Chain A
């Protein structure tokens, strides 16, 4: 796996451990989740360039406020852009409309071009906002915030358990992978490689399943009856009362701008 995907795909400790304390950290996690959600809603549902540019500007401002690590953020944003790049390239050629230019005999339409730009702007604005507001809290805090916002228990548990055991399963994967290497296994594009990787994935699934059963047993032994208790208390504090009106203002302005 390429390094940038490995980073965002298999480990998410949030940026809390490494990034410097920022004003964003002092805002209640629940507020951050809600604001990020509303921001995404406003930006995605607008089709005006002024709104999108203002949205991107706001997101950049938030990123600055959150003291995001520039390199890491860029890596993550690029990782997301990779998913969209084909869509953005294809759109001008597949949307009917006035031809802007022709490439190998296929006309690219102005409408398609605009559409592609819009999608790229929207996606980047939303991702930047998410990275600065939600990405800066640890996954556990996010889980608790979601629980406090009455997101269904099952989903929250799923998130919390994933966070807890991703690392354990990752370790198990690495252990098996090293054991394979220790017996001179090298990745090739032949039958033997495919077969072995298949065994590796299969074994990982079996082991994870068995582990999940043991965890369930261990929880039962301690009287688990389907309920989780959240111990931390989340209380709105002064920074929240500054942040909330500010966000309401910006979001209101963005919404208003889309209707002018």
Chain B
């Protein structure tokens, strides 16, 4: 099976925070849903940013969709094929209305106005968010904002989803809805989260970022440890 995204000896250092990624090797295969955990400030978000070229690696290589990506130009295609869901939905929704926001990505990919609108409507409908087209983005609730940002990303027809704490600040119902939606999607995913239950329902594999390296964790073991802790 060919890898969708692969990093080789990826290295990143902040001038104040120090090294957050030290020669990290990671591979994402089709159909995988990888949970990425780690302490606050461990560098999880940085890792995702490096994958789509929002930050430039200080060393190592990023291979995505069969090619080495090492410059801004090469990352443009990666961003189109790897949908990135940001931590704060407000950062992602910047158009006045929902429909414009969802159509923004497809238009950037060169779709015509009608195609983009069609695609946006279909995507909203597929997420059960029809009727939100003309709503004003900053007046939505947290859960609605989250679903709309997901629609924004899915409208670009990506192969991979990169989710940065998607269940943050969602109430039980909105969280359930997001979970069910994500479970029904065929995309390969990398999910950053501190929400263990959320991850347990989704993950096919779990890696933990600690001391600037990625450690593979077996899911069963993870569950066992948590159960012990709960009992104690």
User: Complex formed: what's the CA distance from A160 to B104 in Å?
Assistant: 15
| Residues of chain A with a CB closer than 8 A to B152's CB | 222
- B31-39, B105-113, B183-191, B198-206: which lies at the interface: B105-113
- The answer to whether A222 and B49 touch across the interface, beta carbons within 8 angstroms, is no
Q: Is A223 an interface residue (CB 8 A)?
A: yes
| Residues of chain B with a CB closer than 8 A to A224's CB | 104, 108
Which chain A residues in 117-148 approach chain B with CB under 8 Å? Answer: 138, 140
Per-position binary interface string of chain B over residues 68-87, scored 1 when its CB falls under 8 Å from any chain A CB and 0 otherwise = 00000000100110011010
Per-position binary interface string of chain B over residues 133-157, scored 1 when its CB falls under 8 Å from any chain A CB and 0 otherwise = 0000110000000000000110010
- Assuming A168-B138, A214-B88, is B108 touching A223 (CB within 8 A)? yes
Q: Is B92 an interface residue (CB 8 A)?
A: yes
| Residues of chain A with a CB closer than 8 A to B153's CB | 222
- The answer to whether A231 and B113 touch across the interface, beta carbons within 8 angstroms, is yes
- The answer to whether B113 and A217 touch across the interface, beta carbons within 8 angstroms, is no
User: Complex formed: what's the CA distance from A160 to B152 in Å?
Assistant: 19
- The answer to whether B100 and A231 touch across the interface, beta carbons within 8 angstroms, is yes
Per-position binary interface string of chain A over residues 66-79, scored 1 when its CB falls under 8 Å from any chain B CB and 0 otherwise = 00000000000000
Which chain A residues in 209-228 approach chain B with CB under 8 Å? Answer: 211, 214-215, 217-225, 227
| Residues of chain A with a CB closer than 8 A to B80's CB | 223
Per-position binary interface string of chain A over residues 142-170, scored 1 when its CB falls under 8 Å from any chain B CB and 0 otherwise = 00000000000000000011011101100
Of A161, A167, A221, A225, most B-chain CB atoms within 10 Å: A221
Per-position binary interface string of chain B over residues 15-29, scored 1 when its CB falls under 8 Å from any chain A CB and 0 otherwise = 000000000000000
Residues of B at under 8 Å CB distance from A? 49, 52, 54, 76, 79-80, 83-84, 86, 88, 90-92, 94-97, 99-100, 103-105, 107-109, 113, 116-117, 137-138, 152-153, 156
Of B86, B96, B97, most A-chain CB atoms within 10 Å: B96
Main DSSP-derived SS at the B contact region: helix
Besides A138-B96, A222-B152, 6 more A-B contacts (Cβ < 8 Å) are A165-B94, A218-B94, A223-B76, A229-B103, A231-B100, A231-B103
Q: Which of B86, B99, B100, B108 contacts A214 (CB 8 A)?
A: B86
| Residues of chain A with a CB closer than 8 A to B52's CB | 221
A168 (CB) vs chain B CBs: closest residue = B90
Min CB–CB distance A160 → chain B (angstroms): 7
- The answer to whether B113 and A229 touch across the interface, beta carbons within 8 angstroms, is yes
Min CB–CB distance A257 → chain B (angstroms): 41
B55 (CB) vs chain A CBs: closest residue = A217
User: Complex formed: what's the CA distance from A225 to B96 in Å?
Assistant: 19
User: Complex formed: what's the CA distance from A138 to B138 in Å?
Assistant: 14
User: Complex formed: what's the CA distance from A168 to B93 in Å?
Assistant: 11
A143 (CB) vs chain B CBs: closest residue = B96
| Residues of chain A with a CB closer than 8 A to B99's CB | 231
User: Complex formed: what's the CA distance from A215 to B93 in Å?
Assistant: 8
| Residues of chain B with a CB closer than 8 A to A218's CB | 84, 86, 91-92, 94
- Assuming A217-B54, A218-B84, A231-B100, is B156 touching A223 (CB within 8 A)? yes
A172 (CB) vs chain B CBs: closest residue = B90
B137 (CB) vs chain A CBs: closest residue = A164
How many residues belonging to A are interface residues under a CB distance threshold of 8 Å? Answer: 24
- The answer to whether B49 and A223 touch across the interface, beta carbons within 8 angstroms, is no
User: Complex formed: what's the CA distance from A161 to B94 in Å?
Assistant: 7
- The answer to whether A223 and B109 touch across the interface, beta carbons within 8 angstroms, is yes
Q: 13 A-B Cβ contacts within 8 A?
A: A140-B97, A168-B90, A214-B91, A217-B49, A217-B86, A218-B92, A218-B94, A219-B104, A222-B153, A222-B156, A223-B76, A223-B80, A231-B99
- Assuming A214-B91, A218-B91, A220-B54, is B79 touching A229 (CB within 8 A)? no
Q: Which of A167, A215, A223, A227 contacts B94 (CB 8 A)?
A: A215
| Residues of chain A with a CB closer than 8 A to B100's CB | 231
User: Complex formed: what's the CA distance from A160 to B97 in Å?
Assistant: 12
| Residues of chain A with a CB closer than 8 A to B95's CB | 164
Min CB–CB distance B156 → chain A (angstroms): 6
| Residues of chain B with a CB closer than 8 A to A219's CB | 94, 104
- A-B pairs, top 6 by smallest CB distance, nearest first, are A223-B108, A222-B105, A140-B96, A221-B84, A214-B91, A229-B107
- Assuming A221-B79, A229-B104, A231-B103, is B96 touching A160 (CB within 8 A)? yes
Min CB–CB distance A139 → chain B (angstroms): 9
- The answer to whether A164 and B94 touch across the interface, beta carbons within 8 angstroms, is yes
| Residues of chain A with a CB closer than 8 A to B79's CB | 220-223
Of A161, A214, A222, A223, most B-chain CB atoms within 10 Å: A222
| Residues of chain A with a CB closer than 8 A to B97's CB | 140
